[in-house]
A and B are shown apart, each in its own frame.
Chain A
Amino acid sequence: MFTSGWMGKVLRVDLTNGKISTEPLKEELMLNFIGGRGINSSLLYSETGPATDPLGGDNKLIIGTSPLTGTLVPTSSRFTITAKSPLTGILGDANVGGAFAPELKYAGFDFIIIQGISNNPVYLWIEDDRVVIKDAAYLWGKTTQETDRMIKEEIGDKEIRVLSIGLAGENLVKIAGIVTGVNIAARCGLGAVMGSKKLKAIAVKGSHTINISHPDKMLKLVDTIFEDYKTCQSWNWYPKLGWTTGQRGMGLSGCAPIKNYLVSGGNDYEKRQAFLDVETSEKYRFKDIACFSCPLACNKWLHMDKLGMKKAPAPGTGHMAIWEIYDYPFHVEVNDLCEAYGMDIYSVQGAISAAMEWYEKGIITKKETDGMEVKFGNKDAAISLIHKIAKREGFGNILAEGPIMAGKIIGADPDTTPACGYGKGTDHGPIDCTSMAMLTLALSVSTRGGGHTRCTPPMAWWGEETTVPERWKKIYRNAGAEEIMNKPWICHPVIADIVTYFETTNTSADIIEICKNTMEYYYFYGFKGIEIKDDLEWHAEWIEAVTGANVDRQYMETVAKRVLNLEKAYNVREGKLREDDMPSHRFMEKRRGEPLPLDGKSLDEKELQCLFDAYYEIHGWDPKTSVPKRKTLEDLGLSYVADDLESKVLRLT
C-alpha cells in the first residue's frame, strides 16, 4: 500500500555482541501504525515489558521516522526516540527536530533499534548501508557540542548529523536527554538509556533519495500551507518574539509558576515583562535558525556580552521565576549548561525548585546540600547543583533521580512539600494549570506522563473570550459551555471531548512526525487552512501525496486511537492505573489572588474527578481503573494486547 516515502529498512544493533542487522520494515506495522511514535510504541510494546530493566541490556532504544521525514512537507524533520523510561518505569518517548532524521532516511533507514550493552564506550557511524560501531573512548566525558564537533573532525565531514549524550546520560542521570544540533529530545530520561548502553553517539550521512508518489500534489499542499503560514499568528510571533512566544499569555493566565509552584504566577508579571519584550529580543538576537524543512525558524542564536554566542532557551522554559530568579543572561547560561550536559531543563527546573522549597522549610539542611544555601533566588547554588546533578556528585546524586523520586528519597510530603508533576512519576516544566481545567486534564492523562505537547486544546487564555478561536467558540456554545470561555477553571464535561480531539490530532502529528506548529495547535490559531479541513484531513493528504497510499481522515483517526490505546495498555501492564494519572495536589490548591485575571483561580478537585470519568468513558476505558475495555481494544485490532493484559495483569471488563 505504501509505495513511496519509506526507505523500507530497520537497522538493529546489538551492542552486547556487536551484531548489526537489517530487517525489512513490516507492511503490517506500516498499515496499523504508519510510522514515528506509532511504530515506536508498537515495537516497544512487543519487545519490552514489566520484566525489562530500563537501564539493562534488554531495554530497547528505538529511533523512528515517518514517510514524510526528509521531504518538502513543512516542519517534517521531527523524529521520536522511545524506550522504557528509567525516570518513570513506563513508556518513555521524546520528540525532537533538527536534521538527524532526514539524514537517517537518506542513509536508507527508517528506524534504528538499539539493544544490549557495550563493554566500552562506542558510537555508531552510519554511511548509507555501511554501519560500523566505533570506539568512543576519546569522546566519553565530552559535552554534546564537543562530541558533535569531534566526530565531524574524526570523519572529516561537516555534513554528517550527530545524535549524542552528554555527561548526564553517561552518568545515568534519570533526567538526561539526547541532543542533536541545537535540539534536545529531553523528556523521560532517555539519555540515561543511551548511557547505560555505553553508546555515546550516532552519526549519519546518506546519499539515497526519498521517493515521492505524487510530487505535484505535495507541492500544491505546500503552496497552500505556505500562504497560510503568512497569515497565522505563529508566523507573526516567531520572527519577532521567538523564544518568548506563549510566555505572555501564560503569565497573564496565572499559568507561569513562581517558587516551586507556591505562587500560581501572574503577580510577578512586571518583572517578567522585561524578558518578553521585542526590544530584549532584538538586543541579544543575531540569527534565526531552523530545523530541516521548517520555514518558521523558532530557534534563535543570541550574543551575550559575557557568554558569547548561545542558543536562546526554548519558549516553554521562558523564565526562571520557578527559582525566583529574574535574569535573562542567567537563564541563557542555565539552558546552555543543560544542553552541554544533555539534560532536560524542565526536570532540572523542577528538581532544583523543589530542593529550594525543601531547604527553606527545613526538610533538608546544609548537611544534605553539601554546605550550600539552596534558597530561592540563589543563583550560585542553582548553577552548582546543575553541575552536581550531571556528575552525580553529593546532593546532585539524589536530584539526579528526578524531582519526584528525589522527594521520596528525602522523605518530603508529596502533599505539602511536593516536587510537582502531572501523574505517573513525571515532573513538568514551569507550567501551572491550576486555572485551566482543560490543560490539567490533558497533561495528566498523557501516556508518557505530563507533557504539554501531547495535547494542548484551545482555551480562554487569561480568561479572555477573544483568545478562543471562532471554530471552538461554536463548539463551546453548542455544548452549553459558554461560561468556560471566560472561566477556564470550570470543569464542564465538554472539556473531555475537546481534550480527546486534540489528543488524537497531536498523536497523529507524532505518528507522521510533523511539528505541532503546523497544526491547529495552541500557537497556530490564525491558520486558515484549518477552516477548509482539519488536522487529520491534512495529515491524511500529506501521507497520500508522499506515499501514494489511499488514506483518509477516518484512517488517521483510527491509527491515532490505536496508538494511544496501545500506549495506555503498556502503562497498565506496568501497573499504572487511574490514581497514577492524578496531578500533584498543589495544582488544585488556591494560591494567591493577585491583580491579574486568572491569578488565584483554581479548579475544584471533585469536579476534576468527574472530568476524568468523562474522559475515560469517551475512550472506552473502565472509569474505575482507567484500564481499556476488551471491546475497545478489539475494535482497534488490538485483541493481542487484550489477551496479553488478561494473561499478565487483570481481567478486562
Chain B
Amino acid sequence: MSYKRIFHAYPEACTGCRMCEIVCSLNREKTGINPKRSMIRIHEDSQKGIYIPTTCHLCNDAPCIEVCPSAALSKNIETGAISVDEENCSGCELCIEACEFGAISLHQDKNIAVMCDLCGGEPKCVKYCMQKALIFLKPEEYDAMKSDAYLEK
C-alpha cells in the first residue's frame, strides 16, 4: 500500500469560507496569511454557487514525480504526501504543468515548486473545515463512514 489515508474533497459541501486556505497559508508562512499562498485552493464561480476545493490528490503514479528532471519530488510511503526537495528543485515548472488538478504552485519568493505536505500527517485544512467538505481518513475509517451513510439511506 502506497499511502495510509484517504484525502477527499466534497465540492457540494464546500461553502467557500476559505478557512482551509487561511490556516494553510498561516501554517506555511508561519506568521503571514494570504489564501493565495495556500496549498489547498478553492476554485470558485460564485455567481453559479460553485466552489471546488483543490489540493494534491496523492496520486499513486504521480505524473509530477515522473516528470521532474532533477528528481526533487518524492513520495512519503508512510503518509502518501509528495514532498519537494528545496535544494534540488530548479523551479522549471514542469511538475506544475503535469499536475492535472492544479495542486502545485510556484513559491512567490523562493521560486521553487510547493505543494501540500499533509502538515506532517494531520492536515490543518481538514481540522478547520466545519462543513466536513474535507476528510482525511484511514481506508478502514473511510469504509466505515461510507457504510454508515449507506445504512442511513
B-contacting residues of A (Cβ < 8 Å)?
Answer: 4, 70-72, 74, 99, 102, 106, 145, 148-149, 158-159, 181-182, 206-213, 215, 219, 222, 226, 229, 286-295, 297, 301, 309
A-contacting residues of B (Cβ < 8 Å)?
Answer: 12, 15-19, 22-23, 25-26, 29-37, 44-49, 51, 108, 128, 130-131
Task: Return the contact of B45 from the options A72, A158, A290 (Cβ within 8 A).
Answer: A158
Q: Which residues from A are CB-within-8-Å of B32?
A: 209-212
Q: How far is the CB of B34 from chain A (nearest CB, A)?
A: 4
Q: How far is the CB of A302 from chain B (nearest CB, A)?
A: 10
Q: Which residues from B are CB-within-8-Å of A292?
A: 17-18
Given contacts A209-B25, A295-B130, contact A72 B19 (CB under 8 A): yes
Task: Return the contact of B29 from the options A71, A209, A229, A293 (Cβ within 8 A).
Answer: A209
Given contacts A209-B29, A209-B32, A297-B17, contact A229 B130 (CB under 8 A): yes
CA of A4 to CA of B49, assembled, Å: 34
Q: How far is the CB of A358 from chain B (nearest CB, A)?
A: 38
- Are B17 and A293 in contact, with the CB atoms below 8 A? yes
Given contacts A149-B47, A226-B128, contact A207 B108 (CB under 8 A): yes
- Are B15 and A290 in contact, with the CB atoms below 8 A? yes
Q: Which residues from A are CB-within-8-Å of B19?
A: 72, 74, 293, 295
Given contacts A72-B23, A148-B47, contact A295 B33 (CB under 8 A): no
Task: Return the contact of A309 from the options B22, B34, B48, B130 (Cβ within 8 A).
Answer: B48
Q: Which residues from B are CB-within-8-Å of A145?
A: 47
Q: Which residues from B are CB-within-8-Å of A295?
A: 17, 19, 130-131
CA of A293 to CA of B128, assembled, Å: 10
- Are A291 and B17 in contact, with the CB atoms below 8 A? yes
- Are B130 and A226 in contact, with the CB atoms below 8 A? yes
Q: Which residues from A are CB-within-8-Å of B29?
A: 209
Q: Which residues from A are CB-within-8-Å of B33?
A: 70-72, 209-210, 212
- Are B16 and A289 in contact, with the CB atoms below 8 A? yes
Query: Could you list 6 A-B pairs, sorted by A, with CB under 8 Å?
Result: A106-B34, A207-B34, A209-B34, A210-B34, A212-B31, A289-B49
Residue of B nearest to A72 (CB): B22
Q: Count the A-B residue pairs with Cβ separation under 8 angstroms: how many?
A: 86
CA of A222 to CA of B26, assembled, Å: 13
Q: How far is the CB of B50 from chain A (nearest CB, A)?
A: 9
- Are A294 and B34 in contact, with the CB atoms below 8 A? no
Task: Return the contact of A208 from the options B15, B31, B34, B128 (Cβ within 8 A).
Answer: B34
Q: How far is the CB of B30 from chain A (nearest CB, A)?
A: 7
- Are B31 and A215 in contact, with the CB atoms below 8 A? yes
Q: Which residues from A are CB-within-8-Å of B44?
A: 158
Which has the most chain B C-beta neighbours within 10 Å: A99, A226, A286, A293? A293
**A-B contacts besides A70-B34, A289-B16, A297-B131, 4 pairs, CB < 8 Å:** A99-B18, A215-B30, A219-B23, A301-B49
Q: Which residues from A are CB-within-8-Å of B34?
A: 70, 106, 206-210
CA of A209 to CA of B44, assembled, Å: 21
Residue of B nearest to A303 (CB): B49
Q: How far is the CB of B130 from chain A (nearest CB, A)?
A: 4
- Are B15 and A297 in contact, with the CB atoms below 8 A? yes
- Are B46 and A4 in contact, with the CB atoms below 8 A? no
Q: Which residues from B are CB-within-8-Å of A286?
A: 49
Q: Which residues from A are CB-within-8-Å of B48?
A: 309
Residue of B nearest to A161 (CB): B46
Q: Which residues from B are CB-within-8-Å of A209?
A: 25, 29, 32-34, 37
Which 9 pairs of residues, A with B, have the shortest CB-CB distance? Answer: A209-B32, A295-B130, A290-B17, A290-B15, A297-B15, A301-B49, A287-B49, A209-B34, A210-B33
CA of A159 to CA of B25, assembled, Å: 17
